[in-house]
Amino acid sequence: MESSSGLQRLLRIPKIYDTFQKIVAGNASEWLLCEQWNLDRFHGKVIDIGCGTGTLLNWLPEDATYVGSDVSEKYIENARKNFAKRAGATFHCGHLDSFRKHKDFQDADMILCKGVLHHIGISEVHEILEFVAERLKPGTGSFYGLEPCYLAKQSWLHRKVLNQDRGKSIQTEKEWKNIFRSHFPIVETQILTGMIRIPYTHIIIECKMV
């Protein structure tokens, strides 16, 4: 469920998307990926769901294995071009359901899904999380997610900005927690209200299988 008007259409163009992310997010991506999720010290296999143009690879060590997926052909074409010389990195275009038997999407040490789930309907969210839970290494695999979030008590400006988001399936804090707890036995969340340069509320999700 996604808006397709004005800026939202422009963000489908890879260069505009990347530039917009840099302007709005500043150093937020580096803080999240490196300080919160320790991606710069990760040496296993990571699956990046909704990888966009693959910029996560800028922080990942050279010896890590990276699998990126996105439904946008333009984003994937751009990622393959920019990271053509990167060993251990592959990009796939299509919906996750088509990759259920693909060898690249098995036995993941880490799966990331950053800013993706609020763009789709709840039934598809559950399908993605089921896919994730089946592909994490038992006991050691971790899922990390980041999504916009409505709060019970929230400033009118934050709520107004959230309402303008390209994705139209933003959930409340309680709703996000319930969704993830229906798939993972261990779920930890954190609310952030100042991670990027505009008034916005995020929920960070970290999940593990036992």
Tell me, what CATH number does 75's domain have?
3.40.50.150
Tokens of 6: 């004005």
pLDDT beyond 70 at 63 = yes
Q: Is residue 176 domain-resident?
A: yes
Q: Is residue 102 domain-resident?
A: yes
- What pLDDT is recorded for position 2? 45
> Per-residue confidence at 130, pLDDT binned at 50, 70, 90?
very high
- What pLDDT is recorded for position 9? 62
Percent of residues, the chain, with pLDDT higher than 70: 88
Pairing label, strands 186-192, 171-172? unpaired
- What pLDDT is recorded for position 99? 96
Q: Is residue 140 domain-resident?
A: yes
Q: Rounded mean pLDDT of 179-185?
A: 97
- What pLDDT is recorded for position 168? 86
CA 189 vs. chain centroid, Å, equals 15
Q: Is residue 2 domain-resident?
A: no
Phi, psi at 161, each rounded to 5°: -65, -40
Residue 176 CB burial class (10 angstroms; 0-12, 13-18, ≥19): buried
Q: Is residue 71 domain-resident?
A: yes
Tokens of 43: 């040496």
Domain of 179, in residue numbers: 7-208
Least confident of 23-27, 61-65, 167-171, 191-195: 23-27
pLDDT in tens, 77-125: 999 999 999 999 999 999 999 999 999 999 999 999 999 999 999 999 9
Between 23 and 123, the more confident residue is: 123
Q: Alpha helix locations (H) across 49-207?
A: 73-82, 122-135, 156-163, 173-181
> Per-residue confidence at 194, pLDDT binned at 50, 70, 90?
confident
Number of structural domains found in the chain: 1
Q: State the Cα–Cα distance between residues 7 and 39, nearest whole angstrom.
A: 30
Q: Is residue 1 domain-resident?
A: no
Between 210 and 173, the more confident residue is: 173
Task: Return all residues near 12 (Cβ < 8 A) that are at least 6 apart.
Answer: 72, 74
